[in-house]
Amino acid sequence: MTKLSFISASMLGLAGLTGQAASQTIDPFFADVYAFTDLGSIPGLPAQYGGLCALSGDPDVLLIGGAANTANGAIHSVRLIRDVDRHIVGFDGPATVFCEGAYNDGGIAYGPGGVLFLSRWPVNEMGQVKPGSTVTDKVINLTPWGVELSHAALNFIPPSHPGAGRMKISSYGSGQWGEVTLEPDGLGTFDITSFTPVPSSRLPGGPEGFAFVPIGSPLFPTPTMILSEYSVGVVSVFEMDDNGDPIVPSRKVFMTGLFGAEGAFIDRPTGDFVFSTFGGGSRIIVVRGFSTPPPECPACAADFNQDGGVDGEDVSAFFEAWASAAPCGDANQDGGIDGTDVDSFFSVWVAGGC
């Protein structure tokens, strides 16, 4: 069954419902701690929503795929409205086109070099958009690498989680899960050097977007991945192993009653889990209750500890990250951690800023 035929069949079952939120439910195990808000549709965003993430350097701007899975698809941007506690409560104005995004699907995430990586379904491809670009600058056919039809979602594991910095991808339908390694191609984008499937982590439910639960969140004592399961209309959670891969037998249902659960990301200012739907009204749903994740890597490496000043404490903070091969130690964002990152850090630190 294709995605569109699944949505058509699901909508027949909605005929007797009076509202979209009528059946959306947090599982009882989590319901005392977590709560959701259905924000509805984004003005100006074409129906059939794809993946979503925050704009690099500005968590108050949402990037999201519109007209997903089609040749006319594009990535759009919209400024977010937040309440006094910084939770997302709405959208400030209509969405506008951010960049071309044909066949966009459940995966959209920033990676090394500030490149925006895009899943492309059903063509089994990965797209890359360079900073400042409005086109997909590079497209890689994933079939020769052994990726099963068709790749649908991707993300990079955040700091503090096992496997931090690694790129994980999944395929819709078959549920294949695996890890991709990248290297700079000299053009501002990246080549794939390997794909390693993880058979024991094959995902159920027609997997789409996935994200990683902030460490310390209530009822999640171990590192956990959260997944939009499109085909069965649920959001589920999985414990992670030491490589950052989901442990499938640990699966728990987190939320039910969804129609076309698609994208997935963690809002860094609050820790809220935000996901989109492909069909079912094309909506944005925000789940509160998670812990706030640590700050992202600094926009300017000179103020490495992000305290508003440039001094010796930034040098100490940088070398702590660099020596432990933490993702933020990649100061020049070339995908590796080596002596060139030290040079890059000191070039901006000595200058007093970027």
The answer to whether position 182 is within a domain reads: yes
Are residues 235 and 344 both part of a single domain?
no
Task: Count up the domains in the chain and report the number.
Answer: 2
| First CA to last CA distance, the chain | 51
Are residues 157 and 191 both part of a single domain?
yes
Are residues 311 and 283 both part of a single domain?
no
Are residues 198 and 74 both part of a single domain?
yes
Per the DSSP assignment, residues forming a β-bridge with 127 are: 118, 139
Phi/psi for 297 (5° steps) reads: -55, 145
Contacts of 95 (CB under 8 A, 6+ apart): 42, 43, 44, 45, 64, 66, 76, 77, 78
The answer to whether position 294 is within a domain reads: no
Are residues 213 and 278 both part of a single domain?
yes
Are residues 68 and 47 both part of a single domain?
yes
* Domain boundary residue, one of 263, 288, 313: 288
The answer to whether position 63 is within a domain reads: yes
6 pLDDT higher than 60: no
The answer to whether position 120 is within a domain reads: yes
18 pLDDT higher than 60: no
164 pLDDT higher than 90: no
Are residues 307 and 181 both part of a single domain?
no
pTM: 0.85
270 vs 14: which has the higher pLDDT:
270
4 pLDDT higher than 60: no
pLDDT in tens, 169-215: 999 999 999 999 999 999 999 999 999 999 999 999 999 999 999 99
13 pLDDT higher than 60: no
* Domain boundary residue, one of 288, 318, 334: 288
107 vs 164: which has the higher pLDDT:
107
The answer to whether position 293 is within a domain reads: no
* Domain boundary residue, one of 235, 259, 288: 288
Are residues 94 and 168 both part of a single domain?
yes
Contacts of 280 (CB under 8 A, 6+ apart): 7, 10, 11, 14, 20, 258, 259, 260
- Domain membership of residue 92 as a residue range: 3-288
Q: How many other CB atoms sit within 10 Å of the CB of residue 32?
A: 11
Quote the CA–CA distance of 59 and 62 in Å, as a whole number.
Answer: 7
Quote the CA–CA distance of 261 and 68 in Å, as a whole number.
Answer: 13
Question: What is the per-residue pLDDT for 114?
Answer: 85
Share of the chain above pLDDT 70, in %: 94
The CA-based angle 308-53-245, given to 5 degrees, is 100
Are residues 168 and 312 both part of a single domain?
no
pLDDT in tens, 206-240: 999 999 999 999 999 999 999 999 999 999 999 99
Phi/psi for 157 (5° steps) reads: -70, 130
Are residues 123 and 194 both part of a single domain?
yes
Average pLDDT over residues 90-111: 97
pLDDT in tens, 275-330: 999 988 899 999 999 999 977 777 788 888 877 788 999 999 999 989 988 778 88
Question: What CATH number should be reported for the domain holding residue 189?
Answer: 2.115.10
Quote the CA–CA distance of 89 and 97 in Å, as a whole number.
Answer: 22
Are residues 159 and 239 both part of a single domain?
yes
Question: What is the per-residue pLDDT for 5?
Answer: 52
Question: What is the per-residue pLDDT for 306?
Answer: 72
Average pLDDT over residues 107-111: 95
The answer to whether position 122 is within a domain reads: yes
Are residues 43 and 70 both part of a single domain?
yes
DSSP assignment string, 145-157: GTPPS-EEEEEEP
